[in-house]
Amino acid sequence: MIAIYPGSFDPITLGHLDIIKRGSLLFEKVIVVVAANPNKRPLFSADKRIEQIQAAVSPLFNVEIDSFDGLTVTYARMKQAQVLLRGLRVLSDFEKELQMAHTNKTLADDLETVFLATSTEYGFLSSSLVKEIAQYGGSIDHLVPQHVARDIYRCYAKT
């Protein structure tokens, strides 16, 4: 069974990696898809995010990284995936994610959404929070992989 884990991953956090690792134990293959989000201005290009994710998941043999600009259900059909994998942190995530799952079901009835509750230590963590902390000079070393932290520090050192 193939699962698609879509997101902007700008940047990938330890919370994202937690979902990817746990998903890789549940599914034959997990494809992490860097998706374009017209409502966000990313810190990193899609290519850089793919590079960061690949480095972070290199020990996982059944995880692939890709990018896509369009509907997630279209991508899932192209890859013959049966599942959309989503992480849940807090109650507000659930409302948005449930709405998206229902919408996706109307577009692709054969595609299921599977939610994984984020591990307790990452329940507060978001990419936006990471960028905000780094922008104001705080340490993010405990929130993202070390290579990603270095990339983020470099970005904010320029401003």
Active site residues: 16, 40, 89, 127
CA 58 to chain centroid: 16
| Bond from prior residue into 59 cis (ω within 30 degrees of 0) | no
In what helix (H) or strand (E) does residue 139 lie, and over which residues does it extend? none
CB atoms within 10 A of CB 131: 18
Find out whether 94 and 117 touch, Cβ atoms under 8 Å. no
Phi, psi values for residue 38, rounded to 5°? -65, -15
CA torsion 25→122→42→102, rounded to 10°?
60
